[in-house]
A and B are shown apart, each in its own frame.
Chain A
Amino acid sequence: MTTPTVTTAGPARRGGRLLWTPARVRSVQAETARATRLVLEVPGWAGHVPGQHLDVRLTAPDGYRAKRSYSVASGPEQPHVELIVERLPDGEVSPYLTQQLRVGDELEVRGPVGGWFVWHASLGGPLQLIAGGSGVVPFLSMLQHREAAGSDVPARLLYSARALPDVIGADRVAATDAGVTLVLTRQAPATWQGPTGRVDARLLHEHVVPPDARPQVFVCGPTGFVEAVADALLELGHPPERVKTERFGTGGGAT
């Protein structure tokens, strides 16, 4: 493999198959009008690498089960595991997680999982993060970790959101010393000075670390967004082995 891999955090049962385990909900907070931040206490949590997922499983009274995979929003240095779940009108799982779930409830979870779309300070940089909608969630974890680790790796975030009220992780995005470009695709205030519209090759050329600087590029968002951005990055000369993608389908937060 041409890119370095980090050691991924072990599951609750190290060296064995990964089992479902109960987690307790410590807090449920509105993140935006459509997204909810869940703070979970997961007994035996072995820690995660930024970018890894947590799988959540719900079981209905009739035994029917549905599971979903969510990127962990919190950094490994934070005391609890945080998810940011966007409510999808036709979803089987997200309406429950965002509207029914209460503090003190239990959820079945499995994780952390995934050792590919991850970044750790030891992997260096420069780091270029490109998010569409709720695709910013794994990058919130990476930015938190970068700061907690005192990393001096140069980092940039290009974040495409529909409008200012849809910005997820606004506190972290505002506080980070990484270079942030926010792109508004649907609606921008009259005073807005930043870019608007679709993220295209021109915008990527202007706001992304250039290929000469050999950045590690991570792209996360709805499938259409990620594929369009990844194609444009390759056209701009970014080598495919330095562009990692995570498509989450047609999910809300589409830009």
Chain B
Amino acid sequence: MTTSDMTADGTADEGPESRRLDGNAAAGPLRELFSVDIIAAACTCAHCGGTTALAEHVLYADAPALVLRCPSCTGVVLRYASAGGQARLDLTGARLLVLDLAHDGRPG
């Protein structure tokens, strides 16, 4: 996986502000690992205690790993990378994930 793998599309950088994406865009990569879509899960930030849907986190997809940051305190909540047949997931910054199983993964 290259650093630019998961940007919305490859473009010249104009500083970190313009590289911010929404957590939505991490849905595909995280489905490499999870059998359900966790992007709508409510996540409690281990840094500030705020609770927000992962989809509403700030995503930096062009770092060496995909990085989700808390929209309240900007602390790193989740890091994910896959390369060479290995997936790496760091959830140190996520104290709690709450998924609504009734709505998950079923054809609508």
Contact = CB atoms under 8 A, between A and B. Distances in A.
Q: Interface SS of chain B: helix, strand, loop or mixed?
A: loop
Interface in A203-230: 222-224, 227
B5 A66 contact: yes
Contacts of B73: none
B31 A68 contact: no
B27 A115 contact: yes
A5 B19 contact: no
A229 B55 CA distance: 18
A249 B5 contact: no
Contact of A15 (B20, B35, B53): B35
Given A10-B106, A114-B37, A252-B9, 9 more contacts: A6-B103, A14-B105, A17-B35, A64-B2, A68-B9, A116-B23, A223-B19, A223-B20, A247-B21
Interface stretch (A36-44, A86-94, A171-179): A86-94
Interface of B: 1-2, 4-14, 17-25, 27-28, 31-35, 37, 39-40, 42, 53, 55-56, 100, 103-108
B86 to A, nearest CB: 15
A90 B14 CA distance: 13
B37 A8 contact: yes
Given A67-B6, A68-B9, A10 B55 contact: no
Contacts, number: 160
Contacts of B6: 67-69
A124 interface: no
A8 B10 contact: no
A183 interface: no
A224 B18 contact: yes
Interface string A3-47: 001111111001111100000000000000000000000000011
Interface of A: 1, 5-11, 14-18, 46-47, 49, 53, 55, 64-69, 86, 88, 90-94, 110-111, 113-117, 120, 222-224, 227, 244-252
A115 B17 contact: no
A18 B28 contact: yes
Nearest to B58: A247
Query: Which 8 pairs of residues, A with B, have the shortest CB-CB distance?
Result: A116-B55, A248-B8, A18-B31, A114-B27, A7-B108, A55-B28, A113-B28, A113-B27
A108 B40 CA distance: 25
A252 B5 CA distance: 17
Contact of A90 (B11, B55, B108): B11
